[in-house]
Structures are given as structure tokens and as C-alpha cells.
Amino acid sequence: MQGLDVGYMLGLVPVILGYVPLTLGMALAGMVAALVLACLLAVERVARVPVLDPLVVLFISFFRGTPLLVQLFLFYYGLPQVMPVLVNIDGVSAAILGLTLHFSAYMAESIRAAILGVERSQWEAARAVGMSPMTMMLRIILPQAARIAAPTLVNYFIDMIKSTSLAFTLGVTEMMGAAQKEAAGSFLYFEAFLVVAVIYWAIVETLSWAQRRLETRLGRAYAR
Amino acid sequence: MLKAFALAATLAVSALPALAETIRVGMSGGYFPFTFVKQDQLQGFEVDLMTEVAARTGDEVSFVTMSFSGLIGALSAGRIDTIANQITITPERSAKFAFSQPYVYDGAQIVVKKGNAAGISGPGDLRGKTVAVNLGSNFEQLLRALPYADEIDIRTYESNIEQDTALGRVDAFVMDRVSSAQVIAKSPLPLELAGKPFSEIRNALPFRDDAAGHALRDRVDAALTAMKQDGSLAEISRKWLDADVTEGN
């Protein structure tokens, strides 16, 4: 066992930090898109639109039932073989697309549960004052469902941030890819992987702090 | 008449010096000392080689790094134009791609954890052992083609075969001789060469097997010839490998 090369690790920190914007950018773009898609999917699952419903069920089943890595390879290396235009999709876009589809399937289920978790009386009251189903969803049900779904959605976001490390397999050098390449040149594996682990950890801890703030805020109306 | 005009126009265009293109060069970025990263700087033998080639062909060069096993797929799919990552010419690859002339002549080498080299002098001694190779590399094929391959536990890796051998998780790894020697000389890992190199290998640049691929291959090939003649290729080799491995026997 050799000693830890602290000097090397300190030198590596700014290098890995340089890839934080790319990692967070991919995760944020994926999260926003996945959230929108998941809301649509969840509302559909609650409303059970004819014809559309089996398709949504199929979508959720596929994207929950296959590993993210398999989906990424399918989009990036597989599909262009059948549809040559897709060669033009770059690794970053393919990674964001994969994250979006994959996580929207999970988030749809969590949002659906949250929608159904809103008290029946709220639905009845909204209908009694003559709200259209659309207005009721947007003004009454979804805001309350958001509070219920928030902790699980933040969990998915954390998972998404960490899942961006798979983008290196698509040729996107993000935090993990950068650490992997540095380790391959220096052969200081422990040092390189420890630096990247601590940085991921710090990002997620920051997010957990934000989550506590968010939950307090969303729960204001319910505070006793 | 129109046909003749079109023909003349085509000839005129092809006679002009080719417009500068961007050659997209794929590499793993994790293959010391050919392509690796230090403090976020991509460097190594292949980087210097392709920079020099592009300077001579008048093209721009852009380096694309991705995991090794994805490189061949990316070349076929048109995401990159060539691979500079010590790609060995094999019959299977020659059937699919158009290769430049070889620019490195080398051999396959067995490397073991320091102190374990006794009794291993060639591939025959790998029977009953676990051996690490890079996934999709020709060393994997080389091992699988051995008549007693089913007696060797071949483990394929995306990366880090040197580390797993040093940790004692596998008995040996097989890689090309020059980079093995450099890894042993420059890394802190307790490794040593076992036996002499076996099976001569020749590394070259693969291009897509179509008109554009052939045109680019011919431009690059001319640059390689010039670099061999004026000694600049040998100089790049000595800079990264402490030896000139760019001439065949």
C-alpha cells in the first residue's frame, strides 16, 4: 500500500470541477424535460384516455423494464443503423434524451400516485364550483400533488445526476470520464476515483439541503 | 453537351487542391502512452502523430475520446473519420475498413504482477490462468485463437487492466510490448514483463471503405510516407516510447 498522493488529488480537483457544469447541465435538461413528460404521462394514466392509455402503459413498461445503459446504447449505436439521420445526434443530446425517457417513466408513476393521493374532497369541490377538468388539474390537483411527489422527484434528480456518468460510454467526457482518463494516464486510481466521488457527494449534499428548504416551502399551508 | 460540361466541372474540382476538412480522430484517451490525459490535457504518441499528419495534409484535426469498445462502431456509423489508438491490422478489420500503411510495428506481450513472472515465457504458459485484455482489442482475438484458448480464463475489460493485474485479481494481462514497457517504467504499479513478445502486430489508421474514406486515407498515407522519410515519425516514437518502433523488419 503506497501513501495517498495528496498533491495529485488537489491538482485534480479543479480539473474535475471543470466538468461539473456539463454534468449538471445534462441532469438539469433531462430533469426539466422528464418532469414535463412525466406530468403528461401521469395525467393520462389518471384520466385513462382511450387508445392512448395502452401506449402510455407500454412506454412506462419498456423504460422501467430495461437498464438505462441498454437504452443509451440502443439510441446512440443501434438506431442510426436503421435510421441513418440519427447519426447526427451528438452524445450529449443522446444522453439527455435517454435520461429524459428513462426517468420520466419512473416519475410518471410517482406523480400518478401523488395525484391519487390528493383528497377526494378537493376533486369534488373543484367540480362543484364548475371548473373544467383542465383547470382543476392545473390549479387544484397538481399543486397539491407536487408537495406529495417532491421528495421522490428530488430522489430521481439525484439518481439522474449520478446516471450522467454513463454518458462516457457515448463519448461524452463528463466528470467520471475525466477521472477515468486521468487515472489511465497517472495510474493513481484510488486518488482519481476518490476525488470524483467526493465531488459527486458534495453536489448531492447541496441538493439535499435545497430539498429540505423546498419541502418546508411547499408544506407552508399545512404547517401547524 | 451537358454531360461533357458536368464531366469537365468534376475534373476541374478534383484537380484543385482539396479544401481543408476537419478530420475527426477517435481515441480512448486512456491508453498510456499513446493517448492519455494529464491535468485535462489530451496527449501522447497518437495525438502528436495526428497533429503532424493534419499539418501536412492541410486539414483541421479534432480529437474525439470515447470508451475503446465504442470506437469501431463510431467509425462505421460516421461519427468519426479514423481511429488513432494503436489499431492492429487484422483480416476481419481489413475486410471492413481501408487501412493506411502501418506506423507502428510491435508484438503482443504478457505482463504479470511483479514476482510472478517465473514459469511464464509465452502464451502456452497461460493455460489455467486468468488473463485480462481490453474488450474489442486484437489481443482478445489473439488469445481466443490459441488452440488451447478454452483452458484460459479470458476476462475482457473496458479499462484498468493494469490495475487489476497489479491488485492480483487476474494472473496477467496481454497488451502490446511498447506500451507495456512504458507502463512498467512510468507507473507506480508493481508489474513486470513475462517472456518475450509473441505474434508480430502492425498498427495503422482505419478509414471507412467508401470513396470519401479512400480519398482521406490516401491523403493521410502520403503524409505518413513523408514523415517516415524525414524522420519526424521516428522522432515522435522516441519522444513517447524511448525507442523507434515505426520501421518494420
Q: What pLDDT does residue B158 have?
A: 85
Domain co-membership, B61 together with B138 = no
Q: What pLDDT does residue B66 have?
A: 87
**Closest partner residue to B74 among A2, A171, A189, by Cβ?**
A171
Q: Can you name the CATH fold of A21-172?
A: MetI-like fold (1.10.3720)
Task: Determine the straight-line distance between the first and last CA of chain B, rounded to whole angstroms.
Answer: 54
Domain boundary assignment for chain A = 1-19+173-224, 21-172
Q: Which carries the bigger pLDDT value, residue B177 or residue A78?
A: B177
Torsion sign (Cα): B165, B168, B172, B178: positive
Say which residues have a Cβ less than 8 Å from residue B212's Cβ, sequence separation at least 6.
none
Instruction: Provide, rounded to the nearest whole percent, the portion of chain B with pLDDT above 90.
Output: 80
| Model pLDDT for residues B21-78, shown as the tens digit of each residue | 899 999 999 899 999 999 999 999 999 999 999 999 999 999 999 888 889 988 988 8
CA A65 vs CA A69, A163, B234: distances in Å: 12, 16, 53
What average pLDDT is seen over chain A?
93
Contacting B with CB below 8 Å, chain A residues are 2, 11-12, 15, 18, 77, 80-81, 87, 91, 168-171, 173, 177-178, 180-189
CA B84 vs CA A198, B28, B48, B89, B244: distances in Å: 33, 9, 10, 12, 18
Q: How confident is the model at residue B14 (pLDDT cuts 50, 70, 90)?
A: very low
Q: How confident is the model at residue A14 (pLDDT cuts 50, 70, 90)?
A: very high
Distance from CA of B38 to the nearest CA of A (A): 6
**B10 within a domain of the structure (yes/no):** yes
| Model pLDDT for residues A164-201, shown as the tens digit of each residue | 999 988 889 999 999 988 998 888 999 999 999 999 99
What average pLDDT is seen over chain B?
90
Tell me the CATH number at B62.
3.40.190.10
Looking at beta carbons, which residues of chain B come within 8 Å of A11?
A: 39
Other beta carbons within 10 Å of A95? 30
Looking at beta carbons, which residues of chain A come within 8 Å of B35?
A: none
Q: Span B162-184, mean pLDDT?
A: 94
Q: Span A191-217, mean pLDDT?
A: 94
* Cross-strand bridge partners of residue B44: none
Cβ contact B40–A178 (<8 Å): yes
Domain co-membership, B33 together with B59 = yes
Instruction: Provide, rounded to the nearest whole percent, the portion of chain A with pLDDT above 90.
Output: 77
Looking at beta carbons, which residues of chain B come within 8 Å of A15?
A: 39-40
Domain co-membership, B233 together with B182 = no
**Closest partner residue to B30 among A77, A81, A181, by Cβ?**
A181
Domain co-membership, B47 together with B115 = no
Q: What pLDDT does residue B249 have?
A: 63
**B131 within a domain of the structure (yes/no):** yes
Q: What pLDDT does residue B7 have?
A: 54
Range of the domain at B98: 2-103+204-241
Q: How confident is the model at residue B119 (pLDDT cuts 50, 70, 90)?
A: confident
Task: For residue A209, count CB atoms less than 10 angstroms from its CB and return exposed for 0-12, middle for 13-18, buried for 19 or more.
Answer: exposed
Residue B11 has pLDDT above 70, yes or no: no
Report yes or no: B44 and A19 within 8 Å, Cβ to Cβ: no
Q: What pLDDT does residue A79 have?
A: 86
Distance CA B190, CA B183 (A): 10
* Minimal-distance CA residue of chain A relative to B42: A181
Cβ contact B38–A170 (<8 Å): no
**B59 within a domain of the structure (yes/no):** yes
pTM of the model: 0.82
Looking at beta carbons, which residues of chain B come within 8 Å of A177?
A: 65
Q: What pLDDT does residue A2 have?
A: 60
Looking at beta carbons, which residues of chain B come within 8 Å of A175?
A: none
ipTM score: 0.75
Domain co-membership, B195 together with B165 = yes
**B247 within a domain of the structure (yes/no):** no
Distance from CA of A112 to the nearest CA of B (A): 38
Domain co-membership, B78 together with B157 = no
Cβ contact B67–A173 (<8 Å): no
Domain co-membership, B9 together with B98 = yes
Domain co-membership, B23 together with B36 = yes
Distance CA B178, CA B116 (A): 20
Residue B12 has pLDDT above 90, yes or no: no
Q: What pLDDT does residue A105 have?
A: 97
Q: Are strands B130-134 and B153-157 parallel, antiparallel or unpaired?
A: parallel
Cβ contact A189–B73 (<8 Å): no
Q: What pLDDT does residue A224 have?
A: 64
